[in-house]
Amino acid sequence: MAAVLTRNIVKTFADVAAVNGISLNVPDGEFMVLLGPSGCGKTTFLRIICGLEQQTSGDLLIGGNVVNDIPPRARGVAMMFQSYGLYPHYTVRNNIAFPLRTQRVSRDEIKKKVEWASQLLGIDHLLDRRPRQLSGGERQRVALARALVREPTALLLDEPLSNLDAKLRTSARQEIKNFQQRVHLTTIHVTHDQVEAMGMGDRIAVIDHGRVRQVGTPTEIYQNPADLFVATFVGAPPMNIVTRNGGGYLGFRPENLLPRRMIEDDAATEFSFRVDRSEYLGSERIVYGVIDGYESKQPITAKLPPAHVAEDSIRPGEWHEFAVKNSALRHFDSSGRHRTRN
């Protein structure tokens, strides 16, 4: 186990910068999530850490040592691929044992460790099967066992949940997170799924166009987005962004845009909100519309608790008095960066 530190990593493919200067510090034992849209460079960055790609410039430190020119096999990191990359011609037992064999660990030691890893993940009854005889969830656990068995310096996960169906994904998320906390392993998890990122990460690094936009705890990322990209990428529906008269932008989360009478605080900014469409989703009601006097590229959304709002009180086509608590307003300057005050 070790900390992973990167200093201004750049990777260009034929003049296009896939990773454009990422500096990131992942302390020992942290669960760090790299979140970003597809093609933002997060997978390339992960591949640089494990050594499958060589960075064009910048330094990579694992456990305090610069490993720029050290081949993957000597870095001691483990990686779990999106498609798991299990060895189809090996049994589960040999799949798990493979990283130990390449390190010439003794036979008894291999046996012991394979048993330990397979019991930890509850796959000890599958050891003699081949990957094609396993279900998606079982394959994932085999891949995880293979990654862990040699006690890596860091665990890299490349969208490991994207091949699972929605139900299995929730439990697999839980499993990986529990497991990571138990063994206290430095983990870097790449995903484009914000639910996954919010639910699993100790900290999240939001990446776009090969750059880190913001690093912070899920709360920080959600409550205080550093710029418009983070504000609109995290959250479903995303943060409402409207143009301010004096230049710059004003942002507020849909759950903070409420009918005026529901806000007891006096320090609130009032809006005249015309409802165009309303969706009932069981636990909440999402209302789409426009705000008088403000411009926005997207329809403004409000997330309302359905129990508090009778259906007929929010009728499409009508103007309503809505408001946002001043403490929930976020200000951005004209270049999209967050400003602390007006």
Partner 1 sequence: MSRFVARSARETGFFLGIAFFVILAAFPFYWMVITAFKQNSDLYNIANTPFWFNEPPTLDHIKYLFSQTLFTRWLLNSLIIGLCVTAITLLTAVPAGYSLARMTSRRGEALGIFIFLTYLVPPTLLFLPLSRIIAELGLQNSMWSLVLVYPTFTIPFCSWLLMGFFKALPVEIEEAAIVDGCSLFGAFIKMAVPLSVPAILTVVIFTFTLTLQEFVYALTFVSSSDQKPITLGVSTDLIRGDVFFWGEIMAGALIAAIPVAIAYNLFLDRFIAGITGGAVK
**List of residues contacting partner 1 (CB under 8 A):** 50-52, 71-73, 77-79, 81-89, 98-99, 102-103, 130-134, 136, 139, 146, 150, 163
Cis peptide before 305 (omega within 30 of 0): no
What's the token pair of residue 150? Answer: 């040699």
Nearer to partner 1, 64 or 71 (CB): 71
Q: CB-wise, 6 or 153, nearer to partner 1?
A: 153
* CB 86, min distance to partner 1, A: 6
Q: Which residues pair with 5 in a beta bridge?
A: 25, 61
Cα torsion through 306, 308, 311, 313, rounded to 10: -140
- According to DSSP, residue 29 is labeled T
Terminal CA-to-CA distance of the chain, rounded, Å?
44
CB nearer partner 1, residue 75 or residue 303: 75
Smallest separation (angstroms) from partner 1 to the CB of 106: 15
Q: Least Å distance between CB 290 and partner 1?
A: 44
Q: Which is nearer to partner 1, 133 or 171 (CB)?
A: 133
Distance CA 38, CA 190 (A): 11
Strands 155-158 and 338-339: unpaired
Nearest distance, CB of residue 83 and partner 1, angstroms: 4
Find the largest Cα–Cα distance for the chain: 75
- CA-atom Rg of the chain in angstroms: 24
Instruction: Quote the CA–CA distance of 219 and 205 in Å, as a whole number.
Output: 12
Q: Least distance from C-beta 137 to partner 1, angstroms?
A: 11
Q: Specify the DSSP class assigned to residue 230.
A: H
| Residue 88 Cβ vs partner 1, minimum distance, rounded to whole Å | 4
> Could you tell me if 218 and 195 are in contact, meaning their C-beta atoms sit under 8 angstroms apart?
no
Could you tell me if 165 and 11 are in contact, meaning their C-beta atoms sit under 8 angstroms apart?
no
Identity of the residue, 140 or 301, whose beta carbon is nearer to partner 1 in the bound complex = 140
CB of 79 to partner 1, least distance (A): 5
- Closest contact distance (angstroms) between CB of 103 and partner 1 is 6
Q: Cβ(144)–Cβ(121) under 8 Å?
A: yes
Least distance in Å: CB of 75 to partner 1?
Answer: 8
What is the C-alpha separation between 113 and 96, in angstroms, rounded?
Answer: 9
Among residues 39 and 136, whose Cβ is nearest to partner 1? Answer: 136
In the complex with partner 1, the residue whose CB is nearer, 2 or 221, is 2
Distance CA 41, CA 210 (A): 5
Give residue 140's identity as a one-letter amino acid code: Q
15: Cβ contacts below 8 Å, ≥ 6 apart: none
Which of 52, 236 has the CB closer to partner 1? 52
146 vs 213 by CB, closer to partner 1: 146
